[in-house]
Amino acid sequence: MCVALTALDAVVRVQSSRGERTIPLVDFHRLPGDTPERDTNLEPEKLITAVDLPALAFARRSLYRKVRDRASYAFALVSVAAALEIDNGVIRQVRLALGGVAHKPWRASAAEEFLVGKRCDQQTLEQGAALELKEAKAFQHNGFKIELAKRMITSVLAELASGEKAQ
């Protein structure tokens, strides 16, 4: 669920004895750094009280896809959450987040920035996905995830685009 919430610009509200604070979900989870035992930026004695989603009208047209090793409950090898708005064949707004490719949900900002204002066709979607994963670094046994993520981004956005055209 965090991948989809990251794509849709969710904000986490936290409460402590010193008051309320908000944390954009994209910043809520953290990379391991020097404290790999901490998964989030939630400080001790803070309590999550709400998760807010902004009113993004185009997010009604969204999709989440998860690829996993087996059919029963399993962590995602790669997951993609996306929302897309197209007007006359041109991408007006897009939100993308990836799961299973980093220690936290990964907002695909480079792909989003590239895609906005471009014609929505297969080649453009593939270019956006490739741009997002250009700097990705594989470890010994997970190099396949880079290509899988590219294909999933392209596939999810193409599916959303085909639904836009059908309306």
Q: Could you tell me the pLDDT band of residue 164, with boundaries at 50, 70 and 90?
A: low
**Would you state the pLDDT for residue 166?**
45
- Average pLDDT of the chain, as a whole number: 90
Domains 2-52 and 57-166 share a fold: no
Is pLDDT above 50 for 167?
no
Q: Enter the pTM of the model.
A: 0.87
Under DSSP, the state recorded for 119 is: B
**Would you state the pLDDT for residue 71?**
67
Q: Please tell me the CATH code under which domain 2-52 is placed.
A: 3.30.465.10
Residue labelled with tokens 């990251």: 6
CATH architecture of the domain formed by 57-166: 2-Layer Sandwich (3.30)
Give the start-to-end residue ranges of the domains of the chain. 2-52, 57-166
Distance from the first to the final alpha carbon of the chain: 27
User: Buried b vs exposed e over 44-83: b needs ≥16 C-beta within 10 Å?
Assistant: eebeeeeeeeeeeebbebbbbebbeeeeeeeebbbbbbbb
